[in-house]
């Protein structure tokens, strides 16, 4: 974040997930005022224990696939912070399943979780970013970009995020919209799910936070509509 700016307001959706605490901590440490969204009270309690600066984050309970709740989020953010300078769309969740194992509801749920949430948040706060000349960072997936098998619905949702990113950025005049596409991220949940994996080969939370911070910063003004694999 730019230390010369008087105040930078950033919204982090999915702030209580596996990556959220690392991102919100980094942004608070860089002087940003951060709003975070969560969906489950138990998840919030757990995340606050993993977030060093949790008491400096404005947490909002929101179902981001619900259009009216996203509108209410906008009203709350404007009341608490004013105009946003940045958005980090972290909402997600891995869902395995090959073609024959994936039902219609599974497929639609994945599209809603990954892509509909990004679409609704960007549409709601688009004018904020245009006014402030800010930036949005969405989360796709390197595995989706590489078309790895075994997670059809998840990959489709993450590819939709990549498409929304490029399309929305092409409509922006002052704002920038990019996405990161991590491979497996070294989170507590991923370690628990695959305890025998080589964690050294995974993308660290610090690396993710580094790229997010850069893409929100004015140093990355030349980077637009990109999907950056990490």
The DSSP secondary structure of 95-153, one letter per residue, reads --B-GGG--HHHHHHHHIIIIIHHHHHHHHHHHHHHHHT-EEEEE--HHHHTT-SSBHH
**Is the per-residue pLDDT at 17 higher than 70?**
yes
| Model pLDDT, residue 201 | 92
pLDDT tens-digit series, residues 25-51: 999 999 999 999 999 999 899 989 999
Q: Is the pLDDT assigned to residue 18 strictly greater than 50? A: yes
Residue 165 has pLDDT above 80, yes or no: yes
- Whether pLDDT at 10 is above 50: yes
Res 229 pLDDT > 80: yes
Confidence at residue 6, expressed as pLDDT on a 0 to 100 scale: 65
Tokens at residue 191, please? Answer: 């370690």
The pLDDT-based confidence of 3 (bands split at 50, 70, 90) is: very low
Q: Which residues of 66-85 are buried (b: 16+ CB within 10 A; e: fewer)?
A: eeeebeebbeebeeebeebb
Q: What confidence tens digit (pLDDT) does each residue in 107-145 have?
A: 999 999 999 999 999 999 999 999 999 999 999 999 899
User: Nearest CA to 57 among 12, 110, 114, 111?
Assistant: 12
pLDDT of 1 > 60? The answer is no
Confidence label for 5 from pLDDT (cuts 50, 70 and 90): low
Residue 41: count of CB within 10 angstroms of its CB: 10
Question: What b/e sequence results for 200-225 when a residue is b if at least 16 CB atoms lie within 10 Å of its CB, and e otherwise?
Answer: eebbbbebbbebbbbbbbeebeeeeb
Domains of the chain: 8-229 (3.40.50.720)
* Least reliable range by pLDDT among 9-18, 41-50, 130-139, 208-217: 41-50
Cβ-based neighbour number of residue 132 at 10 Å: 18
d(CA 205, CA 19): 7
Task: Locate 92 and state its tokens.
Answer: 């997600």
β-bridge pairing 32-38 and 176-181: unpaired
pLDDT at 21 over 50: yes
pLDDT, residue 147, reads: 87
At 71 the pLDDT is 98
Average pLDDT over residues 211-230: 96
Q: Give the pLDDT of residue 69.
A: 98
């Amino acid at each position: 974040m730019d230390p010369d700016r008087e105040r930078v307001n950033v919204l982090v959706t999915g702030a209580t997930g596996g990556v959220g605490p690392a991102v919100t901590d980094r942004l608070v440490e860089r002087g940003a005022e951060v709003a975070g969204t969560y969906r489950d009270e138990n998840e919030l309690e757990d995340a606050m224990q993993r977030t060093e600066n949790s008491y400096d984050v404005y947490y909002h309970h929101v179902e981001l696939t619900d259009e009216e709740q996203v509108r209410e989020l906008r009203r709350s953010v404007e009341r608490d912070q004013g105009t946003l300078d940045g958005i980090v769309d972290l909402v997600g969740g891995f869902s395995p399943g090959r073609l024959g194992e994936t039902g219609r509801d599974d497929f639609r749920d994945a599209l809603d979780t990954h892509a509909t949430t990004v679409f609704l948040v960007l549409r709601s706060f688009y004018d904020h970013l245009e006014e402030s000349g800010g930036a949005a960072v969405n989360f796709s997936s390197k595995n989706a970009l590489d078309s790895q098998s075994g997670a059809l619905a998840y990959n489709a949702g993450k590819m939709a995020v990549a498409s929304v990113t490029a399309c929305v950025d092409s409509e922006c005049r002052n704002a920038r919209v990019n996405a990161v596409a991590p491979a497996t991220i070294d989170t507590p949940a991923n370690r628990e799910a695959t305890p025998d994996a080589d964690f050294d080969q995974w993308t660290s939370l610090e690396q993710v936070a580094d790229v997010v911070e850069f893409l929100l910063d004015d140093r990355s003004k030349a980077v637009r509509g990109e999907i950056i694999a990490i």
